[in-house]
């Protein structure tokens, strides 16, 4: 089945540690996105990438980093510089080359908690 796979589902991190969240899609989508979801704040965009080897900062990029070495993969690293990393992280993807009316599709999310 085609879809977006995020792993792990739950992740625990000690303060001061970097941690990387995985996002893989087999939908042949061009664009990929990372959001952070906090109660009462909706989804906020962290980073997005429209093509391989290119990505742009979203609204809350500080303390995060990404890479896009392969079309299928868009890992997110939460660095120790992120002061409040506990959140639910969602990855999404879409066909950006087929026009602006293509919706985003979402993965199941990773819940990150600080120990």
Partner 1 sequence: AQSVSQHNHHVILSEAASLELGCNYSYGGTVNLFWYVQYPGQHLQLLLKYFSGDPLVKGIKGFEAEFIKSKFSFNLRKPSVQWSDTAEYFCAAGAPDTGFQKLVFGTGTRLLVSP
Residues in the site for partner 1, rule: CB under 8 A? 4, 31, 33, 35, 40-45, 48, 50, 58, 90, 92, 96, 100-101, 103-109
CB of 103 to partner 1, least distance (A): 5
List, in order, residues 6 or more apart from 53 with CB less than 8 Å away: 68, 69
Q: Which is nearer to partner 1, 2 or 16 (CB)?
A: 2
CB of 83 to partner 1, least distance (A): 21
DSSP state of 1: -
Interatomic CA distance for residues 15 and 2, integer angstroms: 35
CB of 16 to partner 1, least distance (A): 31
| Phi, psi for 86 (deg, rounded to 5) | -65, 115
Diameter of the chain by CA atoms?
43
Name which of 112, 110, 108 is nearest 25 in CA terms. 108
Q: Which is nearer to partner 1, 16 or 39 (CB)?
A: 39
Q: Which is nearer to partner 1, 43 or 80 (CB)?
A: 43
């Amino acid at each position: 089945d085609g879809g977006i796979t995020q792993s792990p589902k739950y992740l625990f991190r000690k303060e001061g540690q970097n941690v990387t969240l995985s996002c893989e899609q087999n939908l042949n989508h061009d664009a990929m996105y990372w959001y952070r979801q906090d109660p009462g704040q909706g989804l906020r965009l962290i980073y997005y990438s429209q093509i391989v080897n290119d990505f742009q900062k979203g609204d809350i990029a500080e303390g995060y980093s990404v890479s896009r070495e392969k079309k299928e993969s868009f890992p997110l690293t939460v660095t120790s510089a992120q002061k409040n990393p506990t959140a639910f992280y969602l990855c999404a993807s879409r066909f950006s080359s087929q026009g602006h009316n293509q919706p985003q599709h979402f993965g199941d999310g990773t819940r990150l908690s600080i120990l």
